[in-house]
Structure 1
Amino acid sequence: MKPAERRLRRELPVVRHHLTTATALALLGAGLVVGQAGLLAGLLADGFAGRSPGAGALAALATVLALRALLAWARGALAQRAAAEAKRALRERLTARLRHTGPRRLAARRHGETATLLTRGLDALDPYLTGYLPTMAATAAVPPVVVGWLWWTDWTSALIIVITLPLIPVFGALVGMHTARRTARQWRLLARLGGHFLDVLAGLPTLRAFGREHHQSGVVREMADAHRRATMRTLRVAFLSSLVLETVATLSVALVAVPVGLRLLAGELDLRTALVVLFLAPEAYLPLRAAGAAFHDSAEGLAVAERVFAVLDEEEPAARPAPSPVPGLGTARLRLDGVSVHHPDRAAPALDGVSLTVHPGEHLALVGPSGAGKSTLLALFLGFTAPGAGRVLVDGTDLAALDPDAWLARVAWVPQRPHLFAATVADNIRLGRPDATDAEVRAAARAACADGFTEALPQGYDTPLGEHGAGLSAGQRQRIALARAFLKDAPVLLLDEPTAHLDPESEAAVTRATADLMRGRTAIVVAHRRSLLPHADRIVTVRAGVLDPAGPAPIAPAPAGPGPAAEGLVRS
């Protein structure tokens, strides 16, 4: 048994219950098989002897056949239910693990591979749970019952079955080891194909701008062809193993049938006993033959289970004491105390020994070149990134000791590229506060200068948006994100370049809305343009992971000329 199988049975109660139920149903099915063979052999023997079959025997045979059909239906229904429950449990564990993974580490993982794992990947467990596991239960239950009954009926035939029965699992194991390696490679190629295809779709505008879309089409075609070849090689092995197992099982049954026929001709065996042996001998081999075929169908599911457990085992966060209550954030003092952050993909530290205090109600602007560490500093206050050294303090309490959900409930974050979901405009705004009324949603949109274009949409606030806010401009998406922050009404506000990549009109609207949003709140703003600087109480420059005492860095010019207040702040 593979480690992934042991973990599935150990960590998922539904799999253990399913295996127990399948074993009980297999034992019941074995009893019905023996009963059917005995009744059918008796009826045929009576027919050859010229005796008419009794009504009771016919009714008993019909009852046994109906019970076998009902048992087959129940086994399939219970298996489908168990598979659905097991996949749901694994998806919940996997999504919970990913939810508690830092956004930077989550971004580092290939999104396409993760999406494939959660959808197509976990669906590959169906053959294991609905086919292989019940078949293995039948393999453990049916042959001993059948061989035991045959031993009591005709021990010679039972001895032949006992000798030949182990040949099937031996040949199956030899071919199965080769199949497992092939299937693991097939899954890796599928995950790689899914990840690369998603990356290509996400970056299609960039590829078109640089004229590289045809090249990437060829790359996707080559990866798909590699997956096709791996799939065909796996299928060839599966067909070969089926041929081997069927041949061994057929020869084994022949080794039982030929002596029975000779003994019947010699008068050493009565017809009823011979028929019972001939009916039951294939049933002894049938579960093993089915297990061989089910193994190949389930191999991909086990490969996926191994990958799921690998993700679940990745750097489990260390246990920490019970979270402390979040202090009153309206008067909270935010502080970085000698904080250093190292990202795995960068040699230089993102932040190196940074100390910074943000006073209650202060508006702090962070400026500096791209990659200097400004967004990392925001991620520290959000709790998305843990410092490698130093502490992040909220009113003197270490952020790591606070309840993260309670903290984030009192922080509003507007990223540089906000994510909008494939839902209505109102639903996207209501993400800031799910229990908000329609009037409150409209008021938040009005405060963020998002009401004008929203009401001009075909269905107003009920207009469905495409994925990532398709159908809206960058400035409109930014104002929807600001409306979320207005609706949340949190006392701490973190803004990551809210006016970047906007045209002059959109920038002016977003700047006005952002200035209104900052009023009365503690705000930290990452700024690459001048438009928000007049609304800052203090400007701090970040260069190469440290705070530069020399003063603010040059700011990128706004699309429209900056006002005199902005010019004065830049010169300061």
Structure 2
Amino acid sequence: MSAETKAWVRAEQKRGQSAARLPVLLGAAQVGLGIAQAWCAAYLLTAVLHLAPRGLPVVLYAIGFIAFAALRAAAGMQAERLGFERGAAARRRLRNTVLSTILALGPVGLRGKHSGELAATAVDRVEAMEGLHARWIPATALAIIGPALVGLVVLWVDWRAGVVLLTAGLLVPFAMAVAGIGAGVAAKRQFIALTRLQTRFLDRIRGISTIVLAGRAADEARALAAAARELRQRTMRVLRVAFLSSTALDLAAAAALVVIVLRFAGPLRHDHALAPTALFILLLVPEFFAPLRAFSAVYADRMAAEAVADAFCALPEPPAPVPAADIRSVAAHGLTLAFEDVSFTWDAARGPVLEHLSFRAVSGEILLLTGASGAGKSTIMDLILGFITPDSGRVTINSVDLPVLIPAARTKMIGWIGQKPMIFAGTIEENIRFARPEAADEDVAEAIRNAQLSALVDSLPEGVKTPLGEGGFGLSGGQAQRIAIARAFLKDAPLLLLDEPTAHLDPAVEREVLESIKRLATGRTVIMATHSAIAVEFARNSGAKRLDLDSLRHARRREVLA
């Protein structure tokens, strides 16, 4: 485990220690009540069996035993409830952290991260952290406090028996540490196998049509079965190693019990007055090892936390938040977008993608971005969306730097339509309302008309309530793009970004989609990146300005050579 991972786990433990104070106190109270129970039980048994001189009435011992048992059960229930609440709070915090990081980084910041791996971090790995906060942290403190309390009582009653208990107790952590190291390694390998199975399964589900058409369904089924078998084997290894610590604890408890029985076996033959003391100490042996047993039972939670900590540490750092004093807003209408001497480089070895780029797009204007693949069209879109920041220069909306705009307001001001719109599993209406869930039915109907989606909706038996498959299964490319346009109409954002909106469409459908986009662009600031000759011709006929990134790059090179 790396130093960074260890530091992260220590920070999580420190965070949870303050919240665990009350559960630790309740656990210590349970130990104290258990000692009182053992005392009542010892004298109750000796009184019933007539092994010692008469003391208090038997009924008082019985009432005391029952009362202490009820109080102990109440303390245990409260401790369990508090543990569940702590675990749930930790899960919420970690999941919010992961999701906030993912949303802050955006698709650009998460390049190279598999969606299955991110999903496993946000779900499975967050769930694996529950035990650290709910059980491990209080169990760590009680593994010291509990045996210490019982050991002191036994030392006070009979120092020889106390020495035996404490010696046996000291041997347990060594055995648990040896088993714990192996359990930690096995747990980490198990999570790696789980992630591998999840990502492979997700990839194969996404590419099921390619697999079937290539005749590889049987091969992939065998590969998935092998991955599942590996996960099962690694899970069993975790359990096998974890059982070793339990075995060591049972052996220590049994050895302590046997030695204490031998300690009192001889004296009891001659003096029955020692019976309550002997029974009391024997009944305290399970109480002595109970906190250690609980610690052993949750040791796997610590190992699981260490196994998944690497995934949390591997998340990229989110961008630094803008100071509250610098956050501003701008008017939503009359929007002007400007790039002022902007440069950006993805990879220094390949040179800058954008170099001293400046342009201006005002309200009601369409700016067409053209150029070969790699010219920087998508980079410009990412800069406007706020996924990346320029190396130098400024990106402004109404003369205000993009990073200092209120994030929620910036999101409302920007509408985006890409090459392949995201269609969620749900109805047509739900997919359109995704842009503005609180929109009235009349607004949704108007968006459908403006996007020329009415014919499709009217032809379906359930209309806008027709359910769609995941990823828009059952829709053509043009129909899916029209749903995205309807979504943009409903959002009514003053700045519209179009990234190859007609890619993969046949010419007739492309012209229909462009007509819908023309209506959508009215009164808005529009930035459209495209390779399509039809889209370029259409934009030229609509009075659009054109920014050819290839020409700018060649001109820049000529300046450098000159």
Give CA-to-partner distance per residue, 1:370-426, whole Å, 9 cap, x none.
Answer: 333211111111212212233223333322232233222112111111112233322
Partner SS for 1:531: helix
Matched, 1:261 2:265: yes
Match of 1:542 among 536, 541, 549: 549
Q: Is the 8 A contact 1:410 1:490 kept in 2?
A: yes
| Distance in 1 (alpha carbons) for counterparts of 2:182 and 2:314 | 22
Matched, 1:365 2:371: no
Residue 96 of structure 1: how far off its partner (Å): 1.0
Partner SS for 1:109: coil
Q: Is the 8 A contact 2:335 2:494 kept in 1?
A: no
Alignment size in residue pairs: 544
Give CA-to-partner distance per residue, 1:102-130, whole Å, 9 cap, x none.
Answer: 32122431110111121222222344344
Give 1:556's aligned residue: none
Q: Is the 8 A contact 1:26 1:137 kept in 2?
A: no
Q: Is the 8 A contact 2:336 2:525 kept in 1?
A: no
Give 1:26's aligned residue: 27
Matched, 1:86 2:87: no
Partner SS for 2:339: strand
Partner SS for 2:422: coil
Aligned runs of 1:43-54 on 2, under 5 Å? Answer: 43-49=44-50, 54=58
| Distance in 2 (alpha carbons) for counterparts of 1:128 and 1:262 | 46
Give 2:41's aligned residue: 40
Please tell me the residue identity of whatever aligns with 1:276: F
Please tell me the residue identity of whatever aligns with 2:93: A
| Distance in 1 (alpha carbons) for counterparts of 2:474 and 2:382 | 29
Q: Is the 8 A contact 1:168 1:289 kept in 2?
A: no
Aligned runs of 1:53-64 on 2, under 5 Å? Answer: 54-64=58-68
| Distance in 2 (alpha carbons) for counterparts of 1:478 and 1:149 | 76
**Structure 2: runs of 5 or more not aligned:** 557-562
Shift in alpha-carbon separation, 1:207–1:326, aligned structure 2, 3 A: farther
Aligned runs of 1:343-492 on 2, under 5 Å? Answer: 343=346, 347-492=350-495
Identity %: 34
Shift in alpha-carbon separation, 1:227–1:388, aligned structure 2, 3 A: farther
| Alignment TM-score, normalising by the size of structure 2 | 0.89
Aligned runs of 1:104-503 on 2, under 5 Å? Answer: 104-267=108-271, 270-311=274-315, 314-321=316-323, 322-328=325-331, 330-343=333-346, 347-503=350-506
Give 1:562's aligned residue: none
Residue 495 of structure 1: how far off its partner (Å): 0.6
| Distance in 1 (alpha carbons) for counterparts of 2:373 and 2:252 | 68
Shift in alpha-carbon separation, 1:69–1:124, aligned structure 2, 3 A: same
Q: Is the 8 A contact 1:193 1:223 kept in 2?
A: yes
The structure whose residues are more often helix, as a share, is: 2
Residue 215 of structure 1: how far off its partner (Å): 4.5
Q: Is the 8 A contact 1:339 1:387 kept in 2?
A: yes
Shift in alpha-carbon separation, 1:297–1:399, aligned structure 2, 3 A: closer
| Distance in 2 (alpha carbons) for counterparts of 1:268 and 1:47 | 14
Deviates more, 1:534-543 or 1:91-100: 534-543
Residue 298 of structure 1: how far off its partner (Å): 4.3
| Distance in 1 (alpha carbons) for counterparts of 2:217 and 2:343 | 40
Please tell me the residue identity of whatever aligns with 2:96: E
Deviates more, 1:326-335 or 1:33-42: 326-335
**Structure 1: runs of 5 or more not aligned:** 551-572
| Distance in 1 (alpha carbons) for counterparts of 2:43 and 2:6 | 45
| Alignment TM-score, normalising by the size of structure 1 | 0.87
Shift in alpha-carbon separation, 1:370–1:43, aligned structure 2, 3 A: same
Residue 451 of structure 1: how far off its partner (Å): 2.3
Which runs of structure 1 show a deviation greater than 6 angstroms over 4 or more consecutive aligned residues?
none
